[in-house]
Amino acid sequence: MRVLVVTAVAAEAAAVVADAGPPGAAAVPLPGGYALTRTPDYDVLVGGVGPAAAAAATATALAVADTPYGLVVSAGIGGGFPPHAPVGSLVVSDAVVAADLGADTADGFLPVDKLGFGRTVHPSPAGLSALVAAALGAAHAPVLTVSTVTGSAARAAELARRHPRAAAEAMEGFGVAEAAAAHGVPVVEIRAVSNAVGPRDRAAWRIGEALAALRKAFQQLAPVLQEQP
Ligand SMILES: O=C(O)c1cccc(C(=O)CC[C@H]2O[C@@H](n3cnc4c(=O)[nH]cnc43)[C@H](O)[C@@H]2O)c1
């Protein structure tokens, strides 16, 4: 099964390809100037930060693929919701959720599907995502997509109240999932937790630790995906 991995930035892509087996990694040019790196296990695309950039990049790669992908993985660092996902841990999605796509009303937030426009949840393939989570020792839970990094305890509490099982938040998953759904390809999101979702504290971010966890995750993931049809 061919797998497309979409990251936001080059450092996350480097973690994914770091342990590629022979013949190593090769650059594949794509329209729009996107950087796609091909290894024996994954095609890795740097899509940019945020859902719109991620959707545009994913749609481009899927549209020009010479052979179809069996799975798209949205991968990178992310914020963890205590106590589900401590810093340094991994989260594998059982669903990818657009957490701030909708309308703010006098009665609170209404997601866009409740407004009658589109969807806000993309379930991940249940068996495969559970298998991946078990193989990685990761939490298996919803991953939220936001367009603004949560920066206060009040916002974190509101998101947790609306999505009590959610273990992580990031900024690209739902964009990747929307593009993949348009091409009929399932999506799993894998996040290595760099920080706790809550009050903004740059000093508390552990990006290096999270990138190391991401690298190990994709080392462990390769044989699991090789066994998939
Ligand atoms: O607040 C800051 O100054 C700050 C420091 C380091 C990184 C950022 C980002 O905005 C990173 C966004 C980037 O990383 C993913 N990410 C990581 N943690 C989170 C989070 O808690 N909530 C949402 N996204 C997060 C995200 O997917 C982006 O690609 C800010």
Number of domains in the chain: 1
Q: Return d(Cα 8, Cα 48) in angstroms, integer.
A: 4
Q: What is the pLDDT of residues 148-194, one digit of tens each?
A: 999 999 999 999 999 999 999 999 999 999 999 999 999 999 999 99
pLDDT at 229 over 90: no
Q: Read off the CATH number of the domain in which 156 is found.
A: 3.40.50.1580
Range of the domain at 40: 3-226
What pairing do the DSSP bridges indicate for beta strands 121-123 and 139-145? unpaired
Residue 59, phi then psi, degrees to nearest 5: -60, -40
Q: Is the CB of 208 under 6 A from ligand 1?
A: no
Cα(170) to centroid of ligand 1, in Å?
7
Is any ligand 1 atom within 6 A of the Cβ of residue 77? yes
Is any ligand 1 atom within 6 A of the Cβ of residue 114? no
| Distance from residue 189's CA to the centre of ligand 1 (Å) | 16
Which residue's alpha carbon is nearest to atom 2 within ligand 1? Answer: 202
* pLDDT per position as a tens digit, 55-104: 999 999 999 999 999 999 999 999 999 999 999 999 999 999 999 999 99
Distance CA 205, CA 225 (A): 30
Helices (H), the chain: 10-17, 51-64, 126-136, 153-162, 173-182, 207-226
Q: How large is the ipTM?
A: 0.96
Asked whether 156 lines ligand 1 (CB < 6 A), one says no
